[in-house]
Amino acid sequence: MSRPSMKSVKSSVTAAVILAWLVGCATTAVAPPPPRVHRIAVLPPNKPSDADKTPAAASTDALPPASRTVADVLAAEARQLLAQKGFQVVDPTSVETATHGRIPTSPRMAAQIVADAHLDAAALYIEVPLWQPNFEGMVMNGVIVALNVMLVDSRGAVVWEVRRSTKPVPLYGTVLTGQADVLAAETVMREVLAPLGPERGGS
């Protein structure tokens, strides 16, 4: 039996890569949250690698640029989008007071923080399993992101969730790493929160 040519092997590998990308990009139908969810507290995202990460300033929330992390931008974008979709959003100062600097590491912990502070809201728990710059040669052309978002009620039950499988967020043009993080954060939050309904205001 003759060996397959290098050309056919490369074609097979390319096809497999394309198939994997298509599977990763497939979207799953997500049911809307229960009608009782009308007020939401966006908690600090669980992103362990953010300890020394400081992207550039985004257009949401007035935090100094030097203090903003990817998690900060994700939370700020979530607050803005949820408000535009008609939800009541707990202000970030009240959330900061409630957390006492703690970052929830599970949906149950997120619910406990909100309940202990008597915020009378569902908790938006965000976890970021992967956030990695993607380079083509020396040029950064995207960020590879895996992201899970859950709405948790006062009992710690997940009443709505979206799990974004690992895939790149493409970037176009020349951007700095911090700018890329901000653009990617805005893009993925808009993507995962889309099932909650259309935005009623400007971005």
Predicted local distance difference test score (pLDDT) of residue 29: 52
Residue 75 sits at φ, ψ, to 5 deg, of -65, -45
**pLDDT, position 3:** 53
Across all residues in the chain, what is the average pLDDT? Answer: 79
Residue 11: is its pLDDT beyond 50?
no
Comparison of pLDDT for 16 and 30, the residue scoring more: 30
Burial class (CB in 10 A: 0-12, 13-18, 19+), 51: exposed
Confidence of residue 67 (pLDDT cuts 50, 70, 90): low
- Convert the pLDDT of each residue in 133-184 to its tens digit: 888 877 778 899 999 999 999 889 999 999 999 999 988 765 666 788 888 9
- Total-model pTM: 0.77
d(CA 125, CA 172): 30
Domains (range + CATH), the chain:
37-196 (3.40.50.10610)
Query: Residue 130 — very low, low, confident or very high, per pLDDT cuts 50/70/90?
Result: very high
